Chain A
């Protein structure tokens, strides 16, 4: 759609001179552009390459035969001393690349030359409290705006042409531990966001604002007992107060929506994952602790919860539950198609749900060792816990409960880095990690703005030779079709294409391309620092491009325990790498 459009303008431009290039440059991003993003190849206007977040591109110029000719086109250094984890997904529209960077920065780049067009540095106060590095995962395009969230929990809309602030809204009080690192999404003119801060006893929520003005439309807390709003009026309590939480603990219950969400037009549902219940010490909060460590299907018009599925009821390991829920068509052997969704949880299981009602279809391990549950009961949808593997309750007067060894670790079988689904191979590509942890509980009480864990831990690799493993998971069977091991833990997002390719980065600095069917490594390029960003691809002037941010950081070097051995030598960076397949090849 977009591609044809710009081609037509190109022809016109030839006829009447260059006067039209100005109108091309300022084409506003519409709801239709966003709805079509997964199909259009000349732009990337949403986080996930389409709101379903499949991260699949229909482009096939770059394929298993041609990928060897993929070459660097240009690189932009983010400069400054702020070289921390670069976890963003770039966006591409109207000849510009937009990407966020560590410390709440934004860069706009000329997609032809790689020259910086503008840079926005958000001024951060001294007291910000991001738990796990000063990252940002990307922005959203709408109309003439680039919208992104900041570490001090503000939502900022910049003019795509100039980088000037058009509107700015405070999402929450950073002094209470709120922050924001996820990419917003825009659904039907509304910008939808979550919040971070689950380690500080905040209350998670999903919110919708008018994307053109920033005005709040609805707010939906993710912990039962809290009141939602619509157009400034009460809109019903989330769940039922005290049904799955004792006493007052729901008031500081966590369930942060820190990774944003996906949207499925077929069922008109937002899918937002929720984080760990607060505090980590689960003995303080008997019950399921809804809606922590869950996925919520939310009506985008009014913020009402349609259904939920809880991955880890009564989470005691910080398994969290925010990982993306990706809608896809599950083709059964009898030819029927189920509107399903796939999710690889930190708890080590790969889940397939019916996305129309949240019913569990299948749950299978995607990591080699799971200690906390024997499996997920397909009838009840609940885990079959191994009770001995829950870290013990600190005894009366003791400063520590019994320590247990648990796998996966709290950094998860898979963490924030988004997987991809390829409808041609019908496989999910999951950036998995094999690690466990010693974890024990400690007494804790809530104090505003202070860490609220009540637990101690140390992370341990499970194997000598690798932690990371990119795995192709068949959602029909749960079988792992292939894997590509990596010494350091994988921490970057995945992209797959109709060219039968899978792209992802490694902390060792490589962007790599794999055969989507066999897992054979076909191409790699050393970017100079760890790649923990998310690759994208698009077509420009008849050539296929790939872009990925490079810059080592994120949670691993901060929390990594013994894992530090495989990552401590990795150097920081901060740059946007862009590659292309030249026409001649």
Chain B
């Protein structure tokens, strides 16, 4: 009886969440993405989440993606997934005091939708999508750093730049790291797990969880309000620490 009741409850939730809303990209994997990464929580496809990526991946190892969800308010977390990648989870972004906008580069194994889902305070995911065609092979190649054996000399080194702008200053970070996916034969997964961006006083501006599909030597750009001096703190899946200070 009890079990039966729970099923009913689940079904009600499904309907109210509009799970039946069709995927504009008609991807066979969207249902799986929704249950696995959005925990089957309510969602809407929403043009307020803008996703910008090239129609064709000219370099499958470095597909530039930018999103802007700053039209929404009260964002708790943003999850980026790529339906047809062998490792679909790309990143999580939790903007604390900065706009919900980010640019990065990623690896694509084949043509795939790229989803940016922003969860607002009411618990609903607002999903923006775009489709990128790719010839493939981005996730199963060893990183350049690993192939050359040079990665350990530069591991965790950070370079960055700050541009002062009227509305929002722009911060660009690059962290040296192979970001190996574990799918290339004999090379275990090795990637930056998390990166926190703070101001000079240590106040948290944004948190990032990165996953294997992020391109080698991750390049991340974000809008940062009026802040000009930053601290970066993070770690990879081997426990190697990343720590840097950035000043304009």
The residues of A with any CB-CB pair to B shorter than 8 Å are 80-82, 121-123, 125-127, 154, 156, 164-168
State the Cβ distance, A211 to closest chain B Cβ, in Å. Answer: 15
Interface range, B side:
10 to 19
Contact B239 A168 (CB under 8 A): yes
Selecting from B58-66, B85-93, B183-191, B223-231, the interface stretch reads: B183-191
Assess whether B240 is interfacial by the CB under 8 Å rule.
yes
B contact residues around A165 at 8 Å (CB): 235, 237-239
State the Cβ distance, A25 to closest chain B Cβ, in Å. Answer: 23
Contact A156 B190 (CB under 8 A): no
**Residue on A with the closest CB to B146?**
A123
A125/B152 contact (C-beta < 8 A), A80-B186, A82-B186 known: yes
Contact B240 A164 (CB under 8 A): no
Contact B186 A123 (CB under 8 A): no
B151, B188, B190, B235, most chain A CB atoms within 10 A: B188
Contact A164 B237 (CB under 8 A): yes
**Residue on A with the closest CB to B149?**
A126
A contact residues around B185 at 8 Å (CB): 81
**Residue on A with the closest CB to B152?**
A125
State the Cβ distance, A487 to closest chain B Cβ, in Å. Answer: 33
B contact residues around A81 at 8 Å (CB): 185-186
State the Cβ distance, A311 to closest chain B Cβ, in Å. Answer: 37
Query: Of A125, A126, A156, which is within 8 A of B239 by CB?
Result: A156
Contact A156 B238 (CB under 8 A): yes
A487 to B149, CA, bound (A): 41
A127 to B151, CA, bound (A): 11
**Residue on A with the closest CB to B235?**
A165
A122 to B180, CA, bound (A): 12
State the Cβ distance, A79 to closest chain B Cβ, in Å. Answer: 10
Q: List 26 A-B contacts (CB under 8 A).
A: A80-B186, A81-B185, A81-B186, A82-B186, A121-B188, A121-B189, A122-B188, A122-B238, A123-B180, A123-B188, A125-B151, A125-B152, A126-B149, A126-B152, A127-B152, A154-B239, A156-B238, A156-B239, A164-B237, A165-B235, A165-B237, A165-B238, A166-B239, A167-B239, A168-B238, A168-B239
**Residue on A with the closest CB to B240?**
A168
- A interface footprint on B3-19 (CB within 8 Å = 1, 0 otherwise): 00000000000000000
Interface positions, chain B 97-154, Cβ under 8 Å from A, are 149, 151-152
A156 to B239, CA, bound (A): 8
B contact residues around A168 at 8 Å (CB): 238-240
Majority SS of interface residues in chain B?
A: loop
State the Cβ distance, A107 to closest chain B Cβ, in Å. Answer: 13
B contact residues around A82 at 8 Å (CB): 186
Contact B190 A123 (CB under 8 A): yes
9 closest residue pairs by CB, A with B: A168-B239, A121-B188, A125-B152, A165-B239, A126-B149, A123-B190, A81-B186, A123-B238, A165-B238
A contact residues around B149 at 8 Å (CB): 126
**Residue on B with the closest CB to A163?**
B237
A235 to B185, CA, bound (A): 48
**Residue on B with the closest CB to A122?**
B238
A154 to B239, CA, bound (A): 10
A168 to B189, CA, bound (A): 17
A contact residues around B239 at 8 Å (CB): 154, 156, 165-168
B contact residues around A127 at 8 Å (CB): 152
- A interface footprint on B182-217 (CB within 8 Å = 1, 0 otherwise): 000110111000000000000000000000000000
A501 to B76, CA, bound (A): 61
A154 to B238, CA, bound (A): 10
**Residue on A with the closest CB to B185?**
A81
**Residue on A with the closest CB to B178?**
A123
B151, B237, B239, B240, most chain A CB atoms within 10 A: B239
A contact residues around B190 at 8 Å (CB): 123
**Residue on B with the closest CB to A168?**
B239
State the Cβ distance, A102 to closest chain B Cβ, in Å. Answer: 13
- A interface footprint on B220-248 (CB within 8 Å = 1, 0 otherwise): 00000000000000010111100000000
A165 to B185, CA, bound (A): 23
A121, A123, A125, A126, most chain B CB atoms within 10 A: A123
State the Cβ distance, A336 to closest chain B Cβ, in Å. Answer: 51
State the Cβ distance, B149 to closest chain A Cβ, in Å. Answer: 4
Interface positions, chain B 145-173, Cβ under 8 Å from A, are 149, 151-152
**Residue on A with the closest CB to B148?**
A126
B contact residues around A164 at 8 Å (CB): 237
A123 to B188, CA, bound (A): 7
State the Cβ distance, A125 to closest chain B Cβ, in Å. Answer: 3
A121 to B149, CA, bound (A): 17
State the Cβ distance, B92 to closest chain A Cβ, in Å. Answer: 16
A87 to B240, CA, bound (A): 26
A126 to B238, CA, bound (A): 16
A126 to B180, CA, bound (A): 15
Not counting A123-B180, A123-B190, A164-B237, a sample of 10 additional A-B residue pairs whose C-beta atoms are within 8 angstroms of each other reads A80-B186, A82-B186, A121-B189, A125-B151, A126-B149, A165-B235, A165-B238, A166-B239, A168-B238, A168-B240
A164 to B191, CA, bound (A): 13
State the Cβ distance, B144 to closest chain A Cβ, in Å. Answer: 14
B contact residues around A156 at 8 Å (CB): 238-239
A126 to B152, CA, bound (A): 8
**Residue on B with the closest CB to A165?**
B239
State the Cβ distance, B87 to closest chain A Cβ, in Å. Answer: 16
**Residue on A with the closest CB to B239?**
A168
A122 to B190, CA, bound (A): 8
**Residue on A with the closest CB to B191?**
A123
B contact residues around A125 at 8 Å (CB): 151-152
A213 to B167, CA, bound (A): 43
State the Cβ distance, A414 to closest chain B Cβ, in Å. Answer: 34
